Chain A
Amino acid sequence: MIPAPFDHITPVTLDEAIRALTSHGEEAKLLAGGHSLLPLMKLRLASPKLLIDLSKIPGLAGIRQEGDKMTVGALTTHYQIESSELLKEKCPLLPQTARVIGDVQVRNRGTIGGSLAHADPAADLAAAMLALGAELRVRGAQGERWLKAEEFFLDLMTTALSPSEILTEIRVPVLSGRCGTAYLKLPQKASGFALVGVAVWLRADGGLCADIGVGVTGLGAKPFRAVRVERHLRRKRLEPALIETASAEVTLRIEPLGDIHASAEFRAHLARLYTYRAIVEAARTAGISLTKAKGK
């Protein structure tokens, strides 16, 4: 459990970090909380020659409101998100998701930016990002750009970040009106990652579902937004049977992963079940009264 040799630098500005990243290319890795990268290095599944430690760059962590958006710095830890009173009020799905990540030690060190950029297919926060339609601010040698969460995750551990880009900030909407949220997951018992995790937010308009976002993690090679499920329910009166039909669509065109912890078939089942349960829970918190759910 000893990593291969590597160098370690601690730039104090973002530009300095981007320059280092540009000049070292694929040989360099950014170090945030290190909770995904360091285990890979210890197992020698990753052997970067250089670690660019972002911890000394000011301004990369923190949570603030900007109008109808909440801004979360990339180096904000899971614990900071979990315990943020501001987020609990303005966008509760984030703290709801952050509080079930790993364990206390992981949440104390792990960061939202590190987790998203690492793009583990079973990471929890990705589901919330997709459900919320988050925007990700990215800085690179060519300047700055914004990516939508849906454009960000490309494949297994692969994102739309170019090798010299750094994820700096995440922006999610302030959830106003009668909103409900839920994140449900079945954790893999050893790692704590999601066998399947489903994040939902929805806005109620009377008994109608005015708008809804559904993000799914753990099921396939990358976390995804369950657009079909959303479409099925948007502007509809929520009924258990309708939610059940909609939830069944979560697995369409998805190739579920299978491993020693859960087969592809079981993961698909869990995705449907947890989508259903998460929507029901979000509807409940939005104050929509469903007729009694039939034993789901």
Chain B
Amino acid sequence: MPVSKLVGARIKRREDPRLIRGLGHYVDDINLPNTLHVAILRSPHAHARIKAIRVEEALKCDGVVAVITGSDIQEQIGPVPVASQNPTLRVPKHPVLTVDKVRFVGEGVAAVVAEDRYTARDALDLIQADYEPLPVVSDPEKALEPGSPVIHPEWPDNVAFRWALKQGNLAKAFKEAYKVVKQRLVHQRLAPIALEPRGVLARYLPGEKELTLWSSTQIPHILKTQLSLMLRLPENRLRVIAPEVGGGFGSKLNVYAEEALLGYLAIRLGRPVKWIEGRRENIQATIHGRGQIGEVEVAVRKDGTILGLQYKVVADIGVYHQLLTPGIPPLTGLMLSGCYRIPAIGIEVVGVFTNRMATDAYRGAGRPEATYVMERMMDRLAQELGIDPVKIRQKNFPKPKEFPFKTATGLVYDSGNYQAALRKALKLVGYEKWRSEQKRLREERRYLGIGLSTYVEICGMGPSAAMPAGGWESGTVRMEPTGKVTVLTGASPHGQGQETSFAQIVADELGVDLDDITVIHGDTAVVPSGIGTFGSRATAVGGTAVFQSAEKVKEKAREIAAHLLEADPEDLVFSDGKFSVKGVPKKGITIQQIALEAHVAKNLPKKMEPGLSATSVFEPSNFTFPFGTHICVVEVDPKSGGIEIKKYVAVDDCGKVINPLLVDGQVQGGIAQGLGQALYEEVVYDENGQILSGSLMDYAVPKAGDLPRFELARTETPTPVNPLGVKGVGEAGTIGSTPAVVNAVVDALTPFGATHIDMPLKAEKIWRLCQGKKAARAGGGR
């Protein structure tokens, strides 16, 4: 490999100039002539029988072309799919529009198709749907109680699945423990709130018998396969395009009812159809994240050594499974060991049906829950044993030489140096200084808290053996006759910046200018195959596929160069995009010249195929395991319940870094969302299954002005899993930050006897905890 020039450089995103100037094309920016617009009537009830739906008035409306109900299409469109499997999984039939019953607020009941968006929306108000309300079960714990209302009559216990794992001698661990610390932890439901809501445009060409579907999705190839099954259309007549995608955070790692519905309508009506989700629909009918209630018990020695851990979790599934719904809570289970040596672990998950929207993957997807459990518990243990939270973590870390490190849950952590990241973060934040400041301020009845989170997460998803539908990724590198380079990737981005980072990889490998490289993604008719961008996998898996293709291109170019230069391939050196004969630097040929020779194909080595391109599919041998330490310093006002973040330090290790600017961006955004969970965000359903936080006036996403400056640093421990040494960084910020913030606030309030506060840490909760309690004097515990 030549000396890197671009890999490792802070290259500005090549995507941004068009996006900043409004020249990008999101689904709603694509306008086809004759397009019809779709609006969806959604259930106002969490559980009700549909007595009647009358659509006549809506149909009479000027400009309305069609009104479709569930019974019109139940034979035509197959159910919305679930990919994650599990031996105990119960899969209710998930129709594209419901028939007979509604089961959550926001469930699709009917669709209006009209000449314009306004008419479609107005006509919704003319559909008369009569409902007979049924008893609602909104709370997942109540759903498990005997006599609770039943959501799917075939499963009267409301259980969606059970999943368990037990490893090591738990009974012994708990028997020998000096202390057993128990805690109940709630991971509230969150709405992903991508800046661009979902949107679909579908066009059918009856002559060609070809359906093209533009969708704001993270997984165009998977969507194509699934849609062909749902619509019973040959997959080779289906083309899915993910144009510019304005964020997903996992919410667009899915196959949604509306995608199939629009495909069906385009075929049936013979005109293009478009649907753009509104923000209220987005909060009601796009997947939610988290939604776990856990009871954890940790057995520990007096010196802080962890002996065993038992975790029981009730996972709020919602009414139906979406694509990966039942796969998320087990991922929490697998990651529970965190970055610690825990000899015995027992996990029991019960997935529960509730009259709510489905939960599924939201940035971190199962790992934030695991990290939150372990990191909260490390602080609880430290508190109970009177040990510094730093020391108890260090005590339980595996040492760098123990890697690859096998956890009791069966995962093999590829590489790591947890001590180094922790040390760096402590130094950066000035840990001892803050501890003495904390002591000093308590004398003044001011309450400072310092919170740590030392996390490890799992990403670079696959390998395929561990994934529901393929864990590989494809990458093509093609040199055009004019010497330009076209890169195709199946890792369809939605804001990550692959057009920049993948070009950096190829530019270094082939010695070409960044400006001569175009990265194409998101179109199943152009990119031969792919899985998508999620699970912090794009660079580790997709980037590697592109890298391997670039290597293949270079090797073929070397053979052609050797042929043209009449030299042995072994005697050629490659530098700055040029092959030359060792010791004869003047005698050489550029890779662009070789590309032209390969294309015109008049003088190629015997039996060599013309052209200079290669496609690789990379299958990783393992996941990757990035890690790091986040430290948050807060001051809490016990009277108003206000929390001020005074300092935030993050040291992340995502292996080799292709573009530090992109990595910083991922970490910054990730921390923002993790802080959002800790402090503000919550999808609130009441006992009737109504959403009380149904718009951005009530659902608080963090805004730039709410956030402190994050001080970022890195350690670099390459992974052996892929040749680039990259691990992934898309979710690390979200996973690492949430417990750091909560730990800091609990630490601040220990003089008030605080041991735990459930998220989000709203002012009122803080006030209630402190109310009527006199703070212990300084020195009485941290």
Query: A191 and B697: CB pair below 8 A?
Result: yes
Query: A260 and B684: CB pair below 8 A?
Result: yes
Question: A2 is contacted by which of B117, B706, B768 (Cβ under 8 Å)?
Answer: B117
Query: B706 and A189: CB pair below 8 A?
Result: yes
Query: A266 and B697: CB pair below 8 A?
Result: no
Task: Tell me the minimal C-beta distance from A67 to chain B in angstroms.
Answer: 38
Query: A190 and B700: CB pair below 8 A?
Result: yes
Q: How far is the CA of A260 from the CA of B768 in the complex (A)?
A: 15
Question: A186 is contacted by which of B642, B697, B706 (Cβ under 8 Å)?
Answer: B642
Number of interface residues of A (CB under 8 A): 26
Task: Tell me the minimal C-beta distance from A260 to chain B in angstroms.
Answer: 5
* Cβ-based interface call for B280 (8 A): yes
Q: How far is the CA of A208 from the CA of B241 in the complex (A)?
A: 73
Query: A189 and B700: CB pair below 8 A?
Result: yes
Contact with B along A246-267 (1 / 0, CB 8 A): 0000000000000111110010
Task: List residues of chain A with CB within 8 A of the CB of B763.
Answer: 186, 195, 262, 266, 270
Interface members, chain B 623-646 (any A CB < 8 Å): 639-642
Query: B445 and A295: CB pair below 8 A?
Result: yes
- In the complex where A2-B117, A5-B122, A103-B705 touch, is A190 in contact with B764 (Cβ < 8 A)? no
| Among B89-97, B299-307, B485-493, B688-696, the stretch in contact with A | B688-696
Question: B695 is contacted by which of A43, A103, A266, A269 (Cβ under 8 Å)?
Answer: A43
Task: Tell me the minimal C-beta distance from B741 to chain A in angstroms.
Answer: 14
Residue of A nearest to B699 (CB): A190
Query: B280 and A1: CB pair below 8 A?
Result: yes
* Cβ-based interface call for B178 (8 A): no
Query: B767 and A266: CB pair below 8 A?
Result: yes
| A interface: dominant SS | loop
Interface members, chain A 80-115 (any B CB < 8 Å): 103
Q: How far is the CA of A183 from the CA of B782 in the complex (A)?
A: 35
Question: A263 is contacted by which of B122, B680, B764 (Cβ under 8 Å)?
Answer: B764
Task: List residues of chain B with CB within 8 A of the CB of A296.
Answer: 639
Q: How far is the CA of A5 from the CA of B679 in the complex (A)?
A: 39
Query: A2 and B642: CB pair below 8 A?
Result: no
* Cβ-based interface call for A12 (8 A): no
Task: Tell me the minimal C-beta distance from B770 to chain A in angstroms.
Answer: 11
Interface members, chain B 723-779 (any A CB < 8 Å): 762-764, 767-768
Query: B767 and A269: CB pair below 8 A?
Result: yes
Q: How far is the CA of A189 from the CA of B280 in the complex (A)?
A: 18
Q: How far is the CA of A273 from the CA of B641 in the complex (A)?
A: 11
Interface members, chain B 119-152 (any A CB < 8 Å): 121-122, 125
Q: How far is the CA of A106 from the CA of B696 in the complex (A)?
A: 14
Q: How far is the CA of A43 from the CA of B281 in the complex (A)?
A: 11
Q: How far is the CA of A43 from the CA of B695 in the complex (A)?
A: 9
Q: How far is the CA of A224 from the CA of B699 in the complex (A)?
A: 27
* Cβ-based interface call for A206 (8 A): no
Q: How far is the CA of A44 from the CA of B762 in the complex (A)?
A: 30
Query: A261 and B117: CB pair below 8 A?
Result: no
Query: B280 and A43: CB pair below 8 A?
Result: yes
Question: A1 is contacted by which of B278, B699, B762 (Cβ under 8 Å)?
Answer: B278
* Cβ-based interface call for A4 (8 A): yes
Q: How far is the CA of A230 from the CA of B393 in the complex (A)?
A: 55
- In the complex where A43-B695, A190-B698 touch, is A262 in contact with B280 (Cβ < 8 A)? no
Q: How far is the CA of A39 from the CA of B125 in the complex (A)?
A: 18
Task: List residues of chain B with CB within 8 A of the CB of A43.
Answer: 280, 695
Task: List residues of chain A with CB within 8 A of the CB of B639.
Answer: 273, 296
Task: List residues of chain B with CB within 8 A of the CB of A295.
Answer: 445
| B interface: dominant SS | loop
Residue of A nearest to B706 (CB): A189
The bracket for how many chain B residues form the interface is 20 to 34
Contact with B along A174-197 (1 / 0, CB 8 A): 000000000000101111000100
Interface members, chain A 35-73 (any B CB < 8 Å): 39, 43-44
Interface members, chain A 1-52 (any B CB < 8 Å): 1-2, 4-5, 39, 43-44
Query: B697 and A4: CB pair below 8 A?
Result: no
Q: How far is the CA of A39 from the CA of B642 in the complex (A)?
A: 29
Query: B762 and A2: CB pair below 8 A?
Result: no
Task: List residues of chain A with CB within 8 A of the CB of B692.
Answer: 259-260
Q: How far is the CA of A73 from the CA of B695 in the complex (A)?
A: 32
Task: List residues of chain A with CB within 8 A of the CB of B768.
Answer: 266
Q: How far is the CA of A46 from the CA of B292 in the complex (A)?
A: 37
Task: List residues of chain A with CB within 8 A of the CB of B279.
Answer: 1
Interface members, chain A 250-296 (any B CB < 8 Å): 259-263, 266, 269-270, 273-274, 295-296
Residue of A nearest to B445 (CB): A295
Task: List residues of chain A with CB within 8 A of the CB of B700.
Answer: 188-190
Task: Tell me the minimal C-beta distance from B635 to chain A in angstroms.
Answer: 15
* Cβ-based interface call for B118 (8 A): yes
Task: List residues of chain A with CB within 8 A of the CB of B445.
Answer: 295
* Cβ-based interface call for B268 (8 A): no
Task: List residues of chain B with CB within 8 A of the CB of A262.
Answer: 762-764
- In the complex where A103-B703, A263-B764 touch, is A189 in contact with B680 (Cβ < 8 A)? yes
Of B642, B700, B703, most buried by chain A (CB within 10 Å of CB) is: B700
Task: List residues of chain B with CB within 8 A of the CB of A191.
Answer: 697-698
Residue of A nearest to B281 (CB): A1
Task: Tell me the minimal C-beta distance from B697 to chain A in angstroms.
Answer: 4
Q: How far is the CA of A295 from the CA of B764 in the complex (A)?
A: 19
Task: List residues of chain B with CB within 8 A of the CB of A103.
Answer: 703, 705
Query: B640 and A270: CB pair below 8 A?
Result: yes
Q: How far is the CA of A295 from the CA of B775 in the complex (A)?
A: 12
Of A39, A263, A269, most buried by chain B (CB within 10 Å of CB) is: A269
Interface members, chain B 15-29 (any A CB < 8 Å): none
Task: List residues of chain A with CB within 8 A of the CB of B693.
Answer: 190, 260
Q: How far is the CA of A216 from the CA of B178 in the complex (A)?
A: 54
Task: List residues of chain B with CB within 8 A of the CB of A266.
Answer: 641, 763-764, 767-768
Task: Tell me the minimal C-beta distance from A4 to chain B in angstroms.
Answer: 7
Residue of A nearest to B765 (CB): A266
Question: A5 is contacted by which of B118, B680, B696, B699 (Cβ under 8 Å)?
Answer: B118
Task: Tell me the minimal C-beta distance from A187 to chain B in angstroms.
Answer: 10
Task: List residues of chain B with CB within 8 A of the CB of A269.
Answer: 767
Task: List residues of chain A with CB within 8 A of the CB of B762.
Answer: 261-262
Task: List residues of chain B with CB within 8 A of the CB of A2.
Answer: 117-118, 121, 278
Task: List residues of chain B with CB within 8 A of the CB of A188.
Answer: 700
Task: List residues of chain B with CB within 8 A of the CB of A39.
Answer: 697
Q: How far is the CA of A1 from the CA of B642 in the complex (A)?
A: 33
Q: How far is the CA of A273 from the CA of B767 in the complex (A)?
A: 12
Q: How far is the CA of A262 from the CA of B700 in the complex (A)?
A: 14
Q: How far is the CA of A5 from the CA of B700 in the complex (A)?
A: 30
Task: Tell me the minimal C-beta distance from B569 to chain A in angstroms.
Answer: 61
Query: A186 and B640: CB pair below 8 A?
Result: yes
Task: Tell me the minimal C-beta distance from B682 to chain A in angstroms.
Answer: 8
Q: How far is the CA of A251 from the CA of B755 in the complex (A)?
A: 32
User: 8 closest Cβ contacts across the A-B interface?
Assistant: A189-B700, A190-B700, A1-B278, A2-B121, A266-B764, A191-B697, A189-B680, A260-B692
A sample of 6 more A-B contacts (CB under 8 A), given A1-B279, A189-B680, is A2-B278, A5-B118, A190-B700, A191-B698, A261-B762, A266-B768
21 contacts between A and B (CB under 8 A): A1-B278, A2-B117, A2-B118, A5-B118, A39-B697, A43-B280, A103-B703, A103-B705, A186-B640, A188-B700, A189-B680, A189-B706, A190-B698, A190-B700, A191-B697, A195-B763, A260-B693, A261-B698, A269-B767, A295-B445, A296-B639
Chain B residues packing against A (C-beta within 8 Å): 117-118, 121-122, 125, 278-280, 445, 639-642, 679-680, 684, 692-693, 695-701, 703, 705-706, 762-764, 767-768
